[in-house]
Structure 1
C-alpha cells in the first residue's frame, strides 16, 4: 500500500469507533472480583438499553504484559508482574503513545486522553464470571494504520449481552515504538504484533475465570486490526492460541512487509539526534530518548497533513513472528489452519479516505487526466519498475467511464483505489486460505448506519469503517456527543446490527456464521451463508435483507490479483 496513505488509512474506521465510545450505562454496584495469574481484579457492571436487567461484568485496564520501557523498548513483551491484594479494574489504562489527531477530529466523548508507554492492558466485557460457563471468546484488535487507536474505543457491551459472548479488547504498541526494526537482533521488529500474541497467551491462561472458553477464541479486527488478524493467521506464533479469525477491511497485503527497515530506523535516529555508528548503538540511543521524542520524530517522518508521501513503521520479516512473507507461509502450508471469515464494505475508498488523501477538490468530480494521473502515481508507488502504459491500459479496460461525466470518472477512481488497498487483498487472502483446506466465509457489506449516511453525499456507499458501528452493537447503546445529546438510531439500524452481531457470534461459537446452535434463544435467524472456495467463490451480501452470490467483482479482482502481477513480473524479467 502507498506509504503516504498508511497513517491516514483508518481515520474513517476510528470515526465509526469513536462514535460508539463510552456509551453503555456503567455503575460500581454489582462488580465482581476475579482471580488472574497475576492477581485478583475487581470490575464494574454496565447495561445496554433494551436489556436493563442483564449485567455485563466489565474489567478495564488489566495489565497483560510488563511495561515495555527501558531495555524492554523495541523488545518482545514480557509477562505482567504479580500484584498483591485486589486491583481496581474499573477504569481504562493509558492509551499507547500516538498523535493527538485521534482526539481532535471527532466531536465525541473519550473517557480520558491519557497516553503512556506503559500501555499494555486489556479490557473484558462478559455476561458471566462463572468458570464453567465456557462461552465463546472474541478478542478485538483495533485499527488505526498500526500508528494510532486504542482497544476500548469500541464498547462491546451489546455484543456480549445479546449474543452471550466474552469480548476482550487490547492496547498494543504503535508506530515506531511498536514496529521499528533494525533488521537484526538489536531490534527485530513486529513487537506490536508480539504484544497481540502476548495478549492471546494471557487470554488462554485466564479467560476461563471470566466465563470464557480458552479453546474457543476468535480474533477479530477492522482495517489495521483486520490486517493484524491476517498476519496472526499466517504467523507460526499463533498456533493454538485462537481457533477462528475475522478480518474486516484489511489483510496482510493491505500493508505490505517493509523491505528496508534499517534505513527507516536510521532516519528516525537522525530525526531525534542519535548519531549512531551501528544498529546496537542506534537502538541504545533511541532507548535513552523519551517516548514523546520518539513519537514526535516519527510523526515528522510521516509528514502528516503535508500532502507529501511520508514514511511509516510496519511489518517486517523478523525470523520469528514472520520467518517468511505470508504468501510464502501459505505456499509452504505453514499458515494456521483456522476457520476464517473476512470481507469488505462496498465503497471502501468512498469518501473520508479520498477526502483526506486523494486529489484536491475531491467530491466535485474528476477529469480523465486527473484519474490517469492518480492511477500513474499508484503504479509508481506500488509497482516500481512496471510498464506503466501496460498497467494503465489494463486498468482502463476494467474501470470504464464516460470521460465527459466528472462524477462517473470520480466514482471509478474511488473503486480502483479501494480495490487495490482492501478488496483485492481480501479476495486474494480468501483464495489462499481456502486453498490451504480451511473453511472460509467471504462478505461484502452494503448497509450504512443512518447517522453516517446523513453526514455524506448520496453517492457514497458503505465506506471504510461503516461496518464497525453495526458489528459492535452501537444501535443498542447511547452514543454521547461532547457537546451533549446522543446519536439517534432507526429501526433498520437496530435490525441490521442484530443480524450482523448474530453472524459474527455464530461464527465465533460454531465456525459457521449461519449456525446459531448454542446461542441465545432470541438471537435472530439469519440467512444461510455458503462457504467460499476458489472453485465456488460464494460470498454474502450483507444488507437489510442479506443474500448470497458467487464471484465478488471478478473482473476487478482478476486485474489486481492476476493481470497486474503478471505485467509486473514480465517487466522484471525484461530488465534482467
Structure 2
C-alpha cells in the first residue's frame, strides 16, 4: 500500500513537471540554491534549434544594508521552482546608460539586489560538456549590465554555453577607504563569486566546468585581465579573452580614501574616521550614492571627473597587478586579447566633449597632451614627454590641417588608453609561457558606420554586435523598427564567433576541433610569442601580420616610462 502511494506521488510529480515544461518549451534545472525554470528562444538562421534561456538567477546575496561595501555572501536557497524567464534588476547606476543603447531593453529597473546571472545554452543534458563562455560587461566599472541583448546566436551557431553576469558598479562596487572598513574591489569579488557558482552548477546546463572562458570588453576586458593576475581567479577559468581593455588599461587607485571622502562630501557624510564614513554611506539610499557618483564623473562637461577604480585590497590584489604579472604569479591560462583600430575615434571623446569632431588646433593638441600626462604621471616634467609624443603623432603630409591634427590626437589617446596596455600585457603573458593570441579589429557594422563620418574607423565598442551575433537576431530599436544588418555584417559576425568559440573549445582560435560541422572556415591565426609578436587583422578578409605599431608602442611602453623614471630621479 505504502509503495503504491509513493508510486502515485512520483507519477504526480512527473506529470506536474511535464505540464510545467510543456507549452513554451521551458525546462526546469536544479542548482545549489534551488530549481529554476527558463524559456526557449530561437535565432533566424536556425529556427529549429531551441536555446534554453535562464535569466535572473541569484549567485550571491543582495549586497544591501550591512552587506553594502562588503565581499559578496552566498545567496539564500529558495523553495519550489524559481521563475527564470526575466532578467533581474541592473546594478545601480545613472540613467546615461539608456542613452548609450538605442535599442529596447528588457526593463529599466535599478536595484542593489542585482547579483544575478543569465544562461543561454543549446542543451541542458549533464553529459554534454560544452565549452562555457562567461561574459563580463564593460562601462568604466561605473555602468552597464550583463544582459543587454541575447547571446543566443553565439550559443546556437557554436554550441557553447553563454553566461552573462551583473556585478556592483561605481562606488557601490569599488569604493575603498584603504582599510578593513571598506577594502574595495567588491565588483571584482562579485565576478569571482559568479565564476564559483558556474563551477558548482554549470554541468546541469550542459556546460563543462573545466572549459570556462571568461571574456569581456572595455571595463569587462579590464575585469578579465584583473582576474587573470589575481590569485582569487585560480582554477575558476581556463581561458580568457580581453577586448579593448586589460588589467593595466585602468589605473589602480593609490589614494582611495581621498576619492571616498569626495563622495562622502557630495552626499553629506562627515569623514571623522573611516568607520563612521562607511557607516554613514550605508545609511544613504542607492539613489543618493549614484547621484553623488554622477556629479563626480562630470560626463559631457568637457572635464575628466572622478571615478572609482581598483585598489590594493590585500585580497583580490595582494600586490599591484603589474607586480603580480612580472613576478610570474598570474594564472596560467590561454589568453586572447586585442583592440579595435580606432578606439578613441568618436564615441569616447564625444562623451567628454559634445563638440568633438570639428577638428583641432596644434595648441589644443599640445594642451590635451599635457593634461593627459599630468593625469597619468602627476608631477612629471612634461616637456620631454610632450616633445617625444608629438614627434610620433604627427601627420607630416598635413601638419596644420585641423582634421589631421584631430586624427593624430585620437590615435594618441587610443594608444595610451587601450592599444599600448594590450600589447604590453600580451608580451608579459607570453613571457610567462602561456599561449597568447593578439588581434586588431578593422570591421565596423553597417548600422554603426552609416551614422558616422568616414574618418572614424572601428571605434570603441564596434566589436560588440559582431561578437555577440546580433546580425542574426531582431534587435528592436527604441525609435521603432530593428537594427539593420547587411550580408557582410553576418559574414563577419559568423567569422568572429567562430574564432572566439574555437579558442574557448581548444585554446587555438583557428582550430575547429569539436565545433559544429557548418562552422565558418577561418584564416590561420598565428600565436603571439616574445620572438614573433604576430597578430591578426580581423576584417571581412582577415590576415596575419607581425608587430602592431612598433614605433607607437615603443613610445608608450619604453620611452615614456624611462622619461618618467628619469624625471623622478631628478626630483630626488
- Normalising by the residue count of structure 2, what TM-score does the alignment of the two structures yield? 0.95
Aligned to 1:245: 240
Aligned to 1:125: 120
Q: Which deviates further from its counterpart, 116-125 or 259-268?
A: 259-268
Is residue 365 from structure 1 mapped to residue 370 from structure 2 by the alignment? no
Following superposition, the deviation at residue 309 of structure 1 comes to 2.9
- Residues in 2 aligned to 1:489 and 1:277: alpha-carbon distance in whole angstroms: 56
Contact 2:105 2:149 in 1 (8 A): no
- Residues in 1 aligned to 2:442 and 2:293: alpha-carbon distance in whole angstroms: 36
- Residues in 2 aligned to 1:433 and 1:451: alpha-carbon distance in whole angstroms: 35
Following superposition, the deviation at residue 436 of structure 1 comes to 0.8
- Residues in 2 aligned to 1:276 and 1:140: alpha-carbon distance in whole angstroms: 37
1:157 alignment partner, one of 137, 152, 174: 152
2:448 alignment partner, one of 436, 448, 452: 452
- Residues in 2 aligned to 1:395 and 1:183: alpha-carbon distance in whole angstroms: 35
Secondary structure of 1:151's aligned partner: coil
Residues 252-278 of structure 1, C-alpha deviation per residue, up to 9 Å, x if partnerless? 221110010111112212221222321
Could you say which structure has the larger radius of gyration?
2
Aligned to 2:168: 173
Following superposition, the deviation at residue 197 of structure 1 comes to 0.2
Aligned to 1:415: 411
| Match runs of 1:498-537 below 5 Å | 498-537=494-533
Aligned to 2:374: 380
Is residue 477 from structure 1 mapped to residue 487 from structure 2 by the alignment? no
Is residue 428 from structure 1 mapped to residue 432 from structure 2 by the alignment? no
Following superposition, the deviation at residue 297 of structure 1 comes to 1.4
Aligned to 1:85: 80
Residues 439-473 of structure 1, C-alpha deviation per residue, up to 9 Å, x if partnerless? 00000000010111100011111000000110010
Following superposition, the deviation at residue 506 of structure 1 comes to 0.2
Superposition RMSD on alpha carbons, in Å?
1.2
Contact 2:303 2:352 in 1 (8 A): no
- Residues in 1 aligned to 2:162 and 2:417: alpha-carbon distance in whole angstroms: 28
Secondary structure of 1:348's aligned partner: coil
Contact 2:423 2:553 in 1 (8 A): yes
1:541 alignment partner, one of 528, 537, 540: 537
Is residue 393 from structure 1 mapped to residue 391 from structure 2 by the alignment? no
- Residues in 2 aligned to 1:494 and 1:276: alpha-carbon distance in whole angstroms: 54
Secondary structure of 1:45's aligned partner: strand
Residues 355-397 of structure 1, C-alpha deviation per residue, up to 9 Å, x if partnerless? 2225x74222222122111111111111122221111111122
Contact 1:444 1:541 in 2 (8 A): yes
- Residues in 1 aligned to 2:177 and 2:120: alpha-carbon distance in whole angstroms: 38
Work out which structure has the larger RCO, using CA pairs closer than 8 Å and 6 or more positions apart in sequence: 1
**Structure 1 residues 361 and 100, CA gap change in structure 2 (3 angstroms):** closer
| Match runs of 1:50-449 below 5 Å | 50-358=45-353, 361-401=355-395, 402-449=398-445
Following superposition, the deviation at residue 110 of structure 1 comes to 1.2
- Residues in 1 aligned to 2:212 and 2:569: alpha-carbon distance in whole angstroms: 45
- Residues in 2 aligned to 1:387 and 1:277: alpha-carbon distance in whole angstroms: 36
Secondary structure of 1:456's aligned partner: coil
Residues 493-532 of structure 1, C-alpha deviation per residue, up to 9 Å, x if partnerless? 1110000000000000000000010000000111111111
- Residues in 1 aligned to 2:151 and 2:100: alpha-carbon distance in whole angstroms: 23
Following superposition, the deviation at residue 158 of structure 1 comes to 0.2
**Structure 1 residues 520 and 249, CA gap change in structure 2 (3 angstroms):** same
Secondary structure of 2:108's aligned partner: coil
Contact 2:41 2:52 in 1 (8 A): yes
Following superposition, the deviation at residue 484 of structure 1 comes to 1.8
- Residues in 1 aligned to 2:149 and 2:229: alpha-carbon distance in whole angstroms: 26
- Residues in 2 aligned to 1:403 and 1:370: alpha-carbon distance in whole angstroms: 14
- Residues in 1 aligned to 2:361 and 2:103: alpha-carbon distance in whole angstroms: 37
Secondary structure of 1:252's aligned partner: coil
- Residues in 2 aligned to 1:500 and 1:311: alpha-carbon distance in whole angstroms: 35
Secondary structure of 2:236's aligned partner: coil
- Normalising by the residue count of structure 1, what TM-score does the alignment of the two structures yield? 0.94
| Match runs of 1:485-504 below 5 Å | 485-504=481-500
Q: Which deviates further from its counterpart, 292-301 or 37-46?
A: 292-301
Contact 1:47 1:53 in 2 (8 A): yes
In structure 1, runs of 5+ residues without a counterpart are 1-26
Aligned to 1:20: none
Secondary structure of 2:500's aligned partner: helix
Following superposition, the deviation at residue 28 of structure 1 comes to 6.5
- Residues in 2 aligned to 1:28 and 1:450: alpha-carbon distance in whole angstroms: 38
Following superposition, the deviation at residue 126 of structure 1 comes to 0.2
- Residues in 1 aligned to 2:426 and 2:23: alpha-carbon distance in whole angstroms: 44
